[in-house]
Amino acid sequence: MKYLWGLAAGIILAPCLAAAENPPVAQIVPFSVTTHGDVRVDNYHWLRDDRRTAPAVMDYLNAENRYAAQQSQRWQGLTETILQEMSERQSQDNYAQPWQNNDFTYQSTFAQHANYPQLLRQKNGSSRWEKVLDARERSKGHAYYSLSRYAVSEDNRYLAIAEDTRGDGQNQISVLDISRQQWLPQLTKGTSGEVVFSQDGRSLFYVANHPQTLTPYRVMQHWLTGERPDRLVYEEQDDSLYTGIARSASGAYLIITLSGNDTSEVRVLPLNEDNMRPQLIRPRIKGQEYYLDHNNDRFTVRSNHADKNFGIYTFHQPEEAWQSLVAPAPDSEIENFFLFDQWLVVARRAGGQTRLAKLQLASGEWQNLNFPDQSYMVRPGSNSRSGAGVFNYIYSSLAKPLGYYQWDLRSNQTRLVHQKQLPGVDLSRYQSEFVTVVSRDGESIPVSLVYRRDLFHHGKNPLLVYGYGAYGISVDVAFSAPRLSLLDRGFVFAIAHVRGGGEKGIDWYLNGKKNHKQHSINDFNDAAQGLIAQGFGAADRLYAMGGSAGGLLVAAAVNQQPQQFRAVVMQVPFVDVLNTMLDSSLPLTQQEFDEWGNPADAGAWQAIKAWSPYDNLRTQPYPNMLVTSGLYDTRVPYWEAAKYIARLRTVNTRPHPLLLLTTNMQAGHGGSAGRYARLKDSAQAFSFLIYSDNNNNHSSGAPR
């Protein structure tokens, strides 16, 4: 690499401080990168500042924020109206499912209009709820605050919490002596946030992050009394693997899971003994995954060692051979399992949907749980007691708010425990659908849709298409109260379940990763056009939205077919893929090789270069864009979005473009913290899209 300096920081920024009505102009400072004999020149590399302190860079980001604020004054009233609508819906129903810890019941809930939750508990047999923690108090003095995780000791004396005060995912762990309402003096920083107490409650286990890559890599044991220094339990040397910990369903073991994109390895450690070393279950093998839990004196494992769709196996001791419990199926993938004393509940992905079934362990009898909607989201709820006879789950669809249910494993009956309420909202007005669109290579792309019935007019509505398509993740088809502000203005909202996600099983994922990433991009563009052809939107009122890896998807789709979209929103988008994947010093890069490819290999480098959004910006008309980032984002650093917008302005040929970059200077990958603060991000995005739909002066020039 060769950096052509030659310009002082003040000169670099000078053009950025133009009049408010003109967008900032980032100075061109060539930075050459040679890979496999190919020379690329990155004119905006100077916007990268790992310390987030360089005056020229911070001034540029602030100039972009000022410009975005000035431009958005045109629809500020709409933003405020939408934010008010969202806030009113947000505050109506604060129910959260309680969970049991021995002789106490705990519940996380929100006081009315509170931004952060409080944790309450009730002793069994008592009617009085006791306040254990108020995150509102903990958040004071922090511009950003997130209560990432918490855990309670088995004797209910101690509460351990993980807090992020920058948005960078570097959690600090603190411990509260609940009985005395005193915080212990020891503080542990730079952790993943995962915590597990020992059985006697004298110590807790946590995972420390690597200081450079920020990857969770060290399992540590911390004694609450300070009687001993923290003990290193396990350290992972491979930077491509994440280290995670959990308590087994039996409560007997600490489970240490090392997981990468397609490889995993597990160790177990008894939670009732000090100073023992974790025991390896099976050595890692590239391309093989297994995940473990323990109950009823035996281990249960979900593994793909025999079949890509996973099977479930059991054994009593780590050195024993695995016995098959649930055989792999050719038409579905086993995604997860949940252990109970008498039952095994299995979650499968088939036909784009999650299916639940239970196995009675003694009899071998199976029973399925059926759901009423074509397209839906189902997730496990709090199932903290393996001796319970009910399975708690959460169910929703695009047109149905979250419902908290119990499945009685004895009778096979389901019971609605609580249905989220939205007073004043007539939910019967909203229609959800599940359709398919045929891609250019003949694949059937599943699409989930929702719209308001009385505002739907065949072929005339504005259509917003959302996509993700990475890591084998299936996008939840869940209800969103904030989204009603779009639907109530005539928008049709669609989720395109493109290849690269997990909606149609492991092959659907594999055919959208690495050298097959172009399939994801084609699927997104084909889904958008297919929905227009089916009458779900107007050809000149098409919009796109995606975040993180979904931002990559949308940006690449726009590069290849820019004139089909009127406006797009990309939130913390991963757009500078080639440069990021060439830099192993960045957090997550090595873990991502199995998803995008390692550009140290010439073939992988060429494949990434073919679609990497930043590298493929070219002279052509682009639609309106709102691009967001977070200064302390360690997953997708802020400079990716900043460089993207800077270069986009130099190649866009659309007259009067509306290209906005906003950087949250006090947050990271997740955006604003707090449930009301997060609504501001949604209101900003939705009002931008609605304004773009209502005003033709800044349209993308899509065909009419």
Three-state secondary structure string covering 217-238: EEEEEEECCCCCCCEEEEECCC
Could you give the domains of the chain? 1-47 (no CATH), 64-86+430-694 (3.40.50.1820), 340-423 (no CATH)
pLDDT digit string (tens) for 96-128? 899 999 999 999 998 877 889 999 999 999 999
**pLDDT interval class at 482 (50, 70, 90):** very high
**pLDDT interval class at 465 (50, 70, 90):** very high
The per-residue pLDDT for 92 is: 63
CA distance 487 to 466: 14
CA distance 192 to 455: 46
The per-residue pLDDT for 696 is: 64
**pLDDT interval class at 678 (50, 70, 90):** confident
The per-residue pLDDT for 227 is: 80
Segment 2-7 shows an average pLDDT of: 30
pLDDT at 161 over 70: yes
pLDDT digit string (tens) for 182-231? 999 878 899 999 999 999 999 999 999 999 889 999 999 999 988 889 99
For residue 504, give both structure tokens: 């149609």
The per-residue pLDDT for 13 is: 43
pLDDT at 84 over 50: yes
Q: Give how far Cα 683 sits from Cα of 83, 414, 539, 663, 696, Å.
A: 5, 36, 25, 16, 21
- Residue numbers annotated as active site: 548, 633, 669
**Whole-number percent of the chain with pLDDT over 90:** 83
Residue with tokens 């509102």, as numbered in its chain: 136
pLDDT digit string (tens) for 422-450? 888 999 999 999 999 999 999 999 999 99
pLDDT at 20 over 80: no
- Average pLDDT of the chain to the nearest whole number: 92
The per-residue pLDDT for 7 is: 32
The per-residue pLDDT for 275 is: 78
The per-residue pLDDT for 417 is: 96
CB-based contact 340:353 (threshold 8 Å):
no
CA distance 550 to 564: 18
pLDDT digit string (tens) for 379-411? 999 998 888 899 999 999 999 999 999 999 999
pLDDT at 619 over 80: yes
**pLDDT interval class at 94 (50, 70, 90):** confident
CA distance 92 to 88: 7
**pLDDT interval class at 298 (50, 70, 90):** very high
pLDDT at 18 over 90: no
The residues that bridge with 161 in the sheet, in sequence order, are: 150, 174
The per-residue pLDDT for 452 is: 98
Query: Of 328, 282, 291, which Cα lies nearest the Cα of 306?
Result: 328
**pLDDT interval class at 670 (50, 70, 90):** confident
**pTM, 2 dp:** 0.92
The per-residue pLDDT for 91 is: 61
Give the amino acid at 255: I
The per-residue pLDDT for 538 is: 98
CB-based contact 208:173 (threshold 8 Å):
no
Angle at 232 between CA 230 and CA 238, to 5 degrees: 140
- The residues near 461 (Cβ < 8 Å, ≥ 6 apart) are 451, 455, 490, 491, 492, 536, 537, 538, 541
How many Cβ atoms are within 10 Å of 629's Cβ, its own excluded?
Answer: 30
pLDDT digit string (tens) for 234-250? 999 998 999 999 999 99
User: Could you tell me which residue, 367 or 275, shows the higher pLDDT?
Assistant: 367
Q: Are strands 430-438 and 414-419 parallel, antiparallel or unpaired?
A: unpaired
- The residues near 351 (Cβ < 8 Å, ≥ 6 apart) are 504
pLDDT at 640 over 50: yes
pLDDT digit string (tens) for 35-81? 999 999 999 999 999 999 999 999 999 999 999 999 999 999 999 99
**pLDDT interval class at 282 (50, 70, 90):** very high
Angle, in degrees to the nearest 10, between helices 638-651 and 55-71 = 60
